[in-house]
Amino acid sequence: MRHGRKSKSKRFNGFKRHIAADVDSGLILACAMTPANRPEEDAMPALQRDLERQALTVNHLVIDRGYINSPLVDDVLRRRGKIVCKPWKSHNGQLFPKSAFTLNLRDRTIECPNGQVQPFTFGTIVEFDPDVCDHCALRSHCTTAEPGHGRSVAIAENEQLQQRLRKQIQTSAGRAALRERTIIEHKLAHISQRQGTRARYVGVRKNTFDLRRASAIQNLETLHRSEIESRKAA
């Protein structure tokens, strides 16, 4: 059985639906199905193949952060396109979060709240000098590590993009852009109502076909609704 998790407490079994839609028209352009225990980014190659068959190029990508490590994100960035996504959250209980540390991406250094500076490499974990941390007045607010061990901070492989996304959501325009993704949530909800909450078939291939069928019907409904609205506006 394929077990997936939305969180530590919420688990689901079976498969995950993945779709890509045009924000302006509301039409579903690509579909993919993966086992529930696979990360979201595994669906991106199948979604990209659907887009390539239609000769579509993505220059503005609004995605869930589960897809942030996918190859399509790198492709959009190489074309100097725009990525709209929530950044990863820093979880550290009541202690200093990662955001309390100053990252200098140009010099590739990180400075702790008490001024200790360490160099870093993308995709690694920075470990601060334990001798300095042991005598730091802010230690109780920073780490619960035993004496002789300093604070550690993980630096993401795509830390530059994460920093850009954090700045993005601090602006009203950035938060408004994030809300564009609600169209995907609505599409998935409509498909779920049509398909139900249980997979109808065994295997990824047959369930992908079923997702395509449901998405095609959803597109027909979207076109029909758009036609009605156009006639009312005429």
Which tens digits make up the pLDDT trace of 40-90? 999 999 999 999 999 999 999 999 998 999 989 999 999 999 999 999 887
| Residues 192 and 159 sit within 8 Å (Cβ to Cβ) | no
Average pLDDT of the residues in 99-114: 94
- What would the two tokens of residue 208 be? 């992908």
CA atoms of 144 and 57, how far apart (whole Å): 48
Instruction: Supply the pTM of this predicted model.
Output: 0.80
pLDDT above 60 for 130: yes
- What would the two tokens of residue 150 be? 């300093």
Alpha helices in the chain (DSSP H): 44-53, 71-78, 130-134, 139-142, 159-168, 172-178, 182-195, 204-233
CA atoms of 69 and 44, how far apart (whole Å): 10
Bridge partners (DSSP) listed for residue 117: 111
- For 198-230, what is each residue's pLDDT tens digit? 888 888 999 999 999 999 999 999 999 988 988
